[in-house]
Each structure stands twice: as structure tokens, then as C-alpha cells.
Amino acid sequence: MVSGKLLPKIGTPSAHILVAGKEAVFRKAEPILRILANYLDYMGEQIGLASAWEMVFIMHYYGMFLSLVHSVQICQAEGIPLEQYINLLGEQGKNYEKWLCENIQSGNYKETSAPLELWAGGRGQIARHAQESAIHAEFPMLVARLFQQVMNDGYGREEVSALFKVLQK
């Protein structure tokens, strides 16, 4: 099984593919897969491991998105200029988070290569996985509800920073 993170990057130097399955088959296919992605991670023989690792990565980002929006709301509630938070993020090497804050600050949520609908796609799978695996499911269920609300409100083609619009209500 092959799981591609940020599919629009496939075929570019920054593409990253997670692979699981029989190692001998992976080794045989590796030269072809390297045409699609410079970064290949063989995750093991168990066929579901690539998907499991993709859920791990996605959950990391869901947490970052929600905490970032909440942090912006704290700044607003306490009168902290958003520029100060953006500068702090930049100093800590968090360029993606800085960019998302700048989107919120400018109100520019234009369509990107990774719109909200792309991020919303994994929410149900992760929530179901948590329930089926006896993992505490409150956080994935919250993510699922919020991303469903974003989709219902018509923000699916906008940047993930548009989550701010829903959480601002």
C-alpha cells in the first residue's frame, strides 16, 4: 500500500510516500517509486502501516491547526497584536504556522494546493479508527465535527486557516 502525503507534490523533489507491504516487492518497485517521490519510507510488512502512519501525521496537523486558531483567538481577546505572535512563530522556525496566521490576519483564505476539503477527507476515518481501536475518541470526534462544519459552511476550497471563520462564530 502506498500513502502519499500532500498528493500535489507527487513527482516533485519534495514528494514523500509511505509504503507498506512485502519488503521484496517494495525493493523491486523502489526505482519506479523514486520517480514519483524522492522521499520513500518503507513502514513494514503489515499492509495497513502506511495508512496508520498517514493518520499519525494528519492528527499532528489537526492538533496544530486547532491550537493555532485558538492561540489567535487568545491574542484577540487579550489585545495582543497578531504581529507579535507571527514574529514569535517565525523565530521558532514554524514557517507554516506563521503563514497560516498571516492568512488569518489578512483575511486571505484563497484556494491552495491543500484546501480544507483535502484536510477534511481524513477526519471520519481517524474518528472511526479511534472508536474501533479503543482509543479515546473525543479529540478526533471534535476535529470531525469542526471540519464537517467548515464543509457545510462552504469553505472547502479555501486554505485550512479558514477554520478561523468557523471557530470565530
Beta bridge partners of 20: 44
CATH superfamily of 52-168: N-(1-d-carboxylethyl)-l-norvaline Dehydrogenase; domain 2 (1.10.1040.10)
Which regions of 60-168 does DSSP assign to beta strands (E)?
A: none
Cα–Cα distance measured from residue 140 to residue 41, given in angstroms and rounded to the nearest whole number:
25
Q: How many Å apart are CA 71 and CA 101, to the nearest integer?
A: 10
pLDDT, residue 21, reads 94
Give every residue of the chain whose pLDDT is below 70, as ranges: 1-9, 93, 169
State the Cα–Cα distance between residues 66 and 72, nearest whole angstrom.
10
Say what the pLDDT of residue 78 is. Answer: 95
Rounded Cα gap, residues 48 and 19, in angstroms? 9
For residue 4, the model assigns a pLDDT of 42
Helix, strand, or coil (residue 30): helix
Instruction: Give the pLDDT score at 93.
Output: 66
Q: Using CA atoms, how far apart are residues 126 and 137, in angstroms rounded to an integer?
A: 9
- What are the boundaries of each domain within the chain? 2-47, 52-168
Q: What is the pLDDT of residue 5?
A: 41
Please tell me the pTM assigned to this model.
0.76
Q: What is the pLDDT of residue 15?
A: 83
